[in-house]
Amino acid sequence: MDHTKQLEEAFRYVDQHFDNMLGEVQTACSFRSVASDKAGIEGAASYILQKMEQLGLEVRRYEVEHGNPVLMGQKQGDTDKTLFFYHHYDVVSEGAVDRWLSPPFEPAVRDGRIWGRGVSDNKGALFCRLHALQAVLAACGRLPVNVKVFAEGDEECLSTSLKALIRREPETFREMCRADAIIWENSRNDEKDRPWASFGVGGSFGINLSVQSIREDAHSRMGVMLPNAAWRLVWALASLKNEQEEILIDGFYDDVAPVTEADRRILETFPYEEEDVKKRYGIDHFLLNKTGYELKERIYTQPSLTICGIDAGESAHGFRGIVPSRARARLSCRLMMNQRAEEVAALIEKHMKTHGFEDISVEIDGCVSPVRTPVDIPLKEALTRAAALVYEKPLVIELAQLGGGPAGLFREAWPDIPIAGIGPANTGSSHHAPNENITLEHYKNAVKMVIALLFTY
């Protein structure tokens, strides 16, 4: 039987067993695997390992003291090529349950979608890989390439258990992720039902600024004589960025990678639905009036510094006529290729001191460095050919997904390993929000895409 017939047989298997596959996705998403919920974590981890064992994968469970287990399944194929699939089985908290149309951990199928926490981020994507392996093994009895399936249990909490495992057993981790390419946890289908492949993972970190100017709040009439924590914080924030959207921290842009000719070609053809985005956010123009190629280049190649929230005077409890004694702000810094999170964070701390804001406390958390994969490599061609076997519309190449993740840990182990994401998510999958979902069509196609990739790679 040639590969064409094997592919057709595997696709047919998916069509015939799709209801059972959806049932397994629903079961996986029924476990409340928030990183701090030990019962939910254990339930999800055990269920995933059980599925891997059913497929004949050689499985390992790596325990982490005071953390969540790291899971690994692998199986030999017919070639010496190895694909490594990265995933996580933890989820963010469900938040306000009354904002969900159905219970978050009782996954429901309605309106052509599966709804439930984790169905897109990231258990649905994980199971679409496992279901692809299941279909190929059922159709062929063997895999065309070697496969490793990896899942950690606290990606949403900065991968603390994975980092602990790497510190404890660096060579074990390096051998675990020895592969020819890493297929990252997810990507998406856009508003036009075009499949995407994301050739990188974003970097970011959080910044907490806080200041106390006086021992306790005072009446506002004292504003001419007492230092105001809110003003102090506002002045500090204003020193970080100007009205032209330029970040004023010395050295901030020094390591930002220049746009290559290959990057430029991708951005020129990359579909960005500007009018839909403006409509979604109720605006008539983007910052600096950017549009077209300039807008896309700004989104995908320029770092950003964003104020996420400011609090002073306990205004959530009602406004008072006071001089606030304390003020705080939360910022997010999004990084681009070649910037290292820890180094940029140190520049911000230095900026506050050299600009006379030694009294403002600076706390940095969640440091994740960005990772990019060159787009002109064989993996792109394999993904493009695979997509053509499944989708009516051609594969869209995204320079990098804008969200962060621990891809840098794998690049530290293997500096040149290609990393690209594909998956069943959609533009409205509502990651981290109420009513998380994926469409049934996108899930089926995502399974078939992985099947096709196993053969084209």
pLDDT digits (tens, 9 = 90+) for 439-454: 999 999 999 999 999 9
Looking at residue 354, what is its pLDDT?
97
Give the per-residue pLDDT at 245: 96
Residue 81 confidence (pLDDT) above 80: yes
Among the ranges given (32-41, 286-295, 398-407), the one the predictor scored with the smallest mean pLDDT = 398-407
pLDDT for residue 251: 97
Average pLDDT rounded to a whole number, residues 54-63: 98
Numbered ranges of CATH 3.30.70.360 in the chain: 204-368
The yes-or-no verdict on residue 1 having pLDDT over 60 is: no
For 257-285, the pLDDT digits (tens) are 999 998 999 999 999 999 989 998 999 99
Where in the chain is CATH 3.40.630.10? 3-199+373-456
C-alpha span between 94 and 117 (Å, rounded) = 7
> What fold characterizes domain 3-199+373-456?
Aminopeptidase (3.40.630)
The pLDDT value recorded for residue 151 is 98
Q: Identify the pLDDT of residue 264.
A: 94
Residues 6+ apart with CB under 8 A from 105: 29, 30, 31, 32, 94, 116, 117
Q: What is the pLDDT of residues 240-249, one digit of tens each?
A: 999 999 999 9
**Amino acid making up residue 73:** G
In the prediction, which pLDDT does 454 show? 98
List, for residues 150-187, the tens digit of each pLDDT value: 999 999 998 999 999 999 999 999 999 999 999 999 89
What mean pLDDT value characterizes the chain? 95
State mean pLDDT over 17-21.
Answer: 98
Instruction: Write down the pLDDT at residue 65.
Output: 94
pTM of the complete model: 0.91
pLDDT at 35: 94
| Tokens 């499985």, located at residue | 59
Selected from 1.10.10.350, 3.40.50.300, 3.55.40.20, 3.30.70.360, the CATH number assigned to the domain covering 204-368 reads 3.30.70.360
Contact criterion met (CB below 8 Å) for 371 and 407: yes
Q: CA 132 to CA 126: how far, in whole Å?
A: 10
Give the pLDDT score at 317: 83
CA–CA distance, 255 with 433 (Å, rounded to integer): 33
pLDDT tens string 84-118: 999 999 999 999 999 999 999 999 999 999 999 99
Name the nearest CA neighbour of 185 among 128, 116, 270.
128
